[in-house]
């Protein structure tokens, strides 16, 4: 009788395909296709009174997957659960245990690998471990917190921000704090009062004709600075001028200009040179990869992570076979294995020369924050054999850009520091001093390969800047050739971009590697934020939602509280605190706010029986219904409650079923056409965009919503045609839409 095959379970079919090529014929590799269990959709699913116990159910639509896993498990000698090496992966591993018969449990082993290469996979199979209960409990705690807030607060939002098209309104533990940061920044910008100030820039000449640009820097030993606040009083100015000097108006600038133009005793009063080192940047973690990809490649975090997932799970490299090109892309650790560092040092010496190789390997582990999951490495290439040039022909343009970015950042992190020399020249005439600074690169070091992109902020050339002529000496006479006054105004704080918002969240301890891309996507998809020139601007809906949440849940929609909860979830993962303690810490202030809000919530009285109209979610979306049902069947739309017209919006067409009028309705998945006689007549019709499906060329494109409320575009002939896109189709000559990956989100 043939020996039973061992079963390896992973999340995604593409990951299964890659691993299958590494392990041989004695294994069967199967995908769970993401989570297989979740909280119920139609109720809270958490027993708050009994230890916050969650009720996890098999996800609808996963029946065939679960049946297949059970069948394969029963025939296998060993069951290796090889889901991703993080909390979500650990939770899926526990889901596998929960769906299998208890007789199968003793056969289950957990295997972890940080990269999907033949060596890493086979090494992991030789060294199986047990499922980490602490990580599982931490994931469950996070899920329970998020469900309680979403389930309890979102209905309040639907009441407080009544909007006939508000089917996607939602609150979230982290997304709402991100929205708050954006709205508060917008308030700062709106309230900002610009302050006028001036600068004076001179061009000096030496007796040999060399020119030097310098900026007025000091007056009477007091450095010229910006006024510290707008609309300063006389007392404020008096205090400011004790130690500083400001050119606060055109009149002041003109007076100083006339004084300076009359002077003829300009001379170099000081020349200083300072050598400095610029160290390479650490290897990527999830957040820095998303930030740098946004800045350098103009990619949204969600797209960056989708491409990184593809590089991690495996790319077909022709004769090399399918190979994982990068390590696991959800990590907050900068740790690197000694083996890959040695490989990088050998590569640097051969490619760039020993002058670019530091005496010792560079380590960035000290930069890891507390509670980092240090079992992971940083995001890096799996092998230096696969240079960007080697893999380019096997990658599409976007994949290549992300891979090249990761490759260069990793190699550069092990290169020698750059050496810079900054020369500052001061030119004085009596109590007035100009200054010019220039920087020379003595040795480019890691910058020969990589330079981080920065956001464009502030004024450039604050100290004159430019080239410093050679041969200058102290006391050397200088002639004033030109003097120009420049008017400036202080600028408001910059709006967040996705990259700066991720950094702000990370700096505040909010969110984790697996959540940043989702947070960015959610607040845009919900219509709370729109992007203009990559800047994140709150919409009127976003401002309204934020105002309601901050007013009514100040203790929850709060940076410090959210960061504290993140820390406590990390402590659970590390086995340093308990599930129940963390949930109690969270639930106490939350339920206090919620009860106060509910007590003050204005009741909506049924005009037919005097009962109360409660918010309900039905087949066609949200509506209000009398709580005396079935004795009273009064229902009202959100639009009616909001004070809109009771008159439905007619289409001008008739119902093909009963010949009544048809009206526009708003449902769970967007706008549609229905019969005015509903529920007596259940006719419905989707609204198309008036363009042919680009895939089958027969159906028409319609707007739909995922179960999470995100808008996408699909074919009205689904399931016969499975066309789906996150962006509206465009003519073929224009940029093609971004396709939906089935593993990203259920819809």
Backbone angles phi, psi at 502, to 5 degrees: -60, -45
Do 160 and 213 lie in one domain? The reply is: no
Task: Give yes or no for residue 374 having a pLDDT over 80.
Answer: no
Q: Both tokens of residue 506?
A: 């990370």
* Exposure string over 674-683, b if 16+ CB within 10 A, otherwise e: bbbbbeebeb
Identify the pLDDT of residue 654. 81
Task: Give yes or no for residue 668 having a pLDDT over 80.
Answer: no
Q: Both tokens of residue 515?
A: 């959540």
Do 423 and 409 lie in one domain? The reply is: no
Residue 717 Ramachandran class (φ > 0 left, ψ -120 to 50 alpha, else beta): alpha
Q: Is 386 one of the annotated active-site residues of the chain? A: no
CATH assignment of the domain containing 474: 2.70.20.10
Give the whole-angstrom CA distance, residue 433 versus residue 456: 29
Q: What length does the chain have?
A: 747
Do 466 and 529 lie in one domain? The reply is: no
At 1-33, the pLDDT tens digits run 456 689 999 998 999 999 999 998 889 999 999
Q: What average pLDDT does the segment 723-733 reach?
A: 64
CATH assignment of the domain containing 307: 1.10.290.10
Identify the pLDDT of residue 9. 95
- Which of the residues 266, 328, 386, 403 is marked catalytic? 328
Task: Give yes or no for residue 371 having a pLDDT over 60.
Answer: no
Q: 55-59, 98-102, 446-450, 631-635: which has the minimum mean pLDDT?
A: 631-635
Do 376 and 422 lie in one domain? The reply is: no
Do 173 and 210 lie in one domain? The reply is: no
Q: Return the H-helix or E-strand segment holding 238.
A: helix 234-240
- Beta strand 6-10 with 79-81: parallel, antiparallel or unpaired? parallel
At 168-214, the pLDDT tens digits run 578 888 999 999 999 999 999 999 888 889 999 999 999 989 999 99
Do 362 and 409 lie in one domain? The reply is: yes
Pick from 194, 148, 142: which is nearest to 171 by CA? 148
Task: Give yes or no for residue 641 having a pLDDT over 70.
Answer: no
Do 433 and 537 lie in one domain? The reply is: no
Q: 31-40, 314-323, 530-539, 721-730: which has the minimum mean pLDDT?
A: 721-730
Q: What average pLDDT does the segment 659-672 reach?
A: 73
Q: 273-282, 347-356, 572-581, 600-609: which has the minimum mean pLDDT?
A: 600-609
Identify the pLDDT of residue 126. 94
Q: Is 530 among the domain residues? A: yes
Q: How far is CA 592 from CA 548, 582, 586, 599, in A?
A: 16, 16, 11, 11
605 forms beta bridges with: 612
Identify the pLDDT of residue 645. 47
Q: Both tokens of residue 148?
A: 């309680």
Helices (H), 333-395: 338-352, 388-391
Task: Give yes or no for residue 166 having a pLDDT over 50.
Answer: no
Pick from 30, 27, 20, 23: which is nearest to 4 by CA? 27
Q: List the domain range (segments joined by +) for residue 93.
A: 6-131
Return the HEC string of 630-664: CCCCCEECHHHHCCCCCCCCEEEEECCCCCCEEEE
The mean predicted confidence, pLDDT, of the chain is 86
Residue 428 · residue 267 · CB < 8 Å:
yes
Give the whole-angstrom CA distance, residue 121 versus residue 80: 11
Q: Three-state DSSP class for 568?
A: helix
Identify the pLDDT of residue 414. 97
Do 174 and 90 lie in one domain? The reply is: no
Helix axes 540-552, 133-160, angle to 10 degrees: 110
Radius of gyration (C-alpha) of the chain in whole angstroms:
32
Pick from 62, 108, 116: which is nearest to 84 by CA? 116
Q: Both tokens of residue 170?
A: 């939602």
- Beta strand 244-245 with 222-224: parallel, antiparallel or unpaired? parallel
Q: Of 413, 441, 471, which residue sits at a domain end?
A: 413
Do 46 and 124 lie in one domain? The reply is: yes
The tally of domains found in the chain comes to 5
| Share of residues in the chain with pLDDT > 90 (%) | 56
């Amino acid at each position: 009788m043939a020996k039973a095959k061992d079963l390896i379970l992973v999340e995604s079919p593409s990951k299964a395909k890659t691993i299958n090529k590494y392990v041989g014929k004695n294994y069967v590799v199967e995908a769970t296709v993401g989570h297989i269990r979740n909280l119920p959709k139609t109720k809270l699913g958490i027993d708050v009174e009994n230890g916050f116990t969650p009720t996890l159910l098999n996800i609808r639509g996963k029946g065939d997957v679960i049946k297949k896993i059970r069948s394969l498990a029963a025939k296998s000698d060993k069951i290796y659960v090889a889901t991703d090496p993080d909390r979500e992966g650990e939770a899926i591993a526990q889901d596998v245990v929960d769906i299998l018969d208890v007789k199968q449990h003793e056969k289950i082993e957990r295997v972890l690998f940080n990269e999907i290469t033949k060596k890493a996979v086979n090494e992991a199979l030789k060294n199986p471990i047990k499922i980490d209960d602490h990580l599982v409990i931490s994931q469950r705690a996070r899920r329970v917190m998020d469900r309680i807030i979403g389930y309890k607060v979102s209905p309040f939002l639907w009441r407080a921000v009544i909007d006939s098209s508000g089917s996607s309104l939602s609150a979230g533990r982290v997304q709402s704090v991100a929205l708050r940061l954006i709205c508060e920044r917008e308030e700062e910008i709106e309230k900002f009062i610009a302050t006028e100030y001036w600068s004076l820039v001179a061009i000096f000449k030496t007796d040999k004709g060399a020119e030097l640009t310098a900026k007025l820097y000091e007056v009477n030993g007091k450095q010229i600075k910006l006024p510290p606040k707008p609309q300063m009083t006389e007392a404020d100015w008096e205090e400011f001028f004790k130690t500083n000097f400001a050119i606060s108006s055109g009149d002041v600038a003109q007076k100083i200009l006339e004084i300076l133009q009359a002077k003829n005793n300009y001379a170099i009063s000081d020349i200083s040179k300072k050598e400095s080192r610029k160290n390479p940047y650490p290897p990527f973690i999830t957040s820095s990869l998303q930030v740098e990809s946004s800045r350098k490649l103009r990619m949204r975090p969600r797209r960056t992570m989708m491409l990184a997932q593809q590089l991690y799970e495996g790319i077909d490299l022709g004769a090399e076979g399918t190979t994982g090109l990068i390590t696991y892309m959800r990590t907050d650790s900068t740790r690197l294995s000694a083996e890959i560092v040695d490989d990088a040092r050998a590569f640097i010496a051969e490619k760039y020369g020993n002058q670019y190789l530091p005496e010792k390997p560079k380590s960035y582990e000290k930069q890891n924050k507390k509670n980092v999951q240090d079992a992971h490495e940083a995001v890096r290439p799996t092998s230096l054999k696969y240079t960007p040039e080697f893999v380019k022909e096997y990658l599409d343009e976007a994949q290549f850009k992300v891979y090249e970015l990761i490759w260069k950042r990793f190699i550069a992190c092990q290169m020698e520091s750059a050496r810079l020399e900054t020369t500052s020249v001061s030119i004085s005439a009596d109590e007035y001093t100009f200054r010019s600074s220039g920087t020379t690169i003595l040795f480019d070091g890691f910058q020969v390969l990589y330079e981080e992109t920065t956001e464009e902020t502030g004024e450039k050339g604050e100290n004159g800047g430019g080239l410093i002529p050679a041969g200058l000496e102290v006391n050397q006479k200088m002639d004033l050739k030109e003097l120009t006054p420049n008017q400036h105004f202080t600028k408001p704080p910059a709006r967040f971009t996705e990259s700066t918002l991720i950094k702000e969240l990370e700096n505040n301890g909010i969110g984790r590697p697996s959540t940043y891309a989702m947070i960015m996507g959610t607040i845009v998809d919900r219509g709370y934020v729109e992007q203009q020139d990559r800047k994140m601007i709150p919409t009127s809906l976003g401002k309204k939602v934020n105002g309601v949440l901050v007013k009514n849940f100040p203790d929850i929609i709060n940076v410090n509280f959210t960061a504290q909860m993140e820390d406590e979830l990390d402590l659970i993962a590390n086995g340093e605190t308990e599930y129940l303690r963390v949930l109690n810490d969270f639930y106490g202030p939350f339920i206090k706010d919620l009860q106060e809000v509910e007590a003050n919530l204005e009741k909506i009285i049924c005009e037919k029986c005097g009962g109360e109209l409660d918010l309900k979610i039905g087949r066609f979306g949200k509506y209000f219904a009398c709580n005396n049902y079935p004795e009273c069947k009064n229902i009202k739309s959100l639009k009616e409650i909001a004070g809109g017209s009771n008159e439905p919006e007619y289409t001008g067409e008739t119902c093909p079923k009963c010949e009544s009028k048809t009206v526009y309705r708003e449902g769970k998945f967007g706008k549609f056409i229905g019969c005015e006689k509903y529920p007596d007549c259940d006719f419905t019709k989707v609204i198309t965009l008036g363009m042919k499906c680009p895939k089958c060329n027969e159906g028409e494109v319609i707007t739909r919503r995922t179960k999470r409320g995100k808008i996408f575009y699909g074919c009205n002939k689904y399931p016969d045609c499975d066309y789906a896109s996150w962006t509206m189709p465009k003519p073929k000559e224009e940029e093609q839409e971004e396709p939906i990956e089935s593993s990203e989100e259920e819809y």
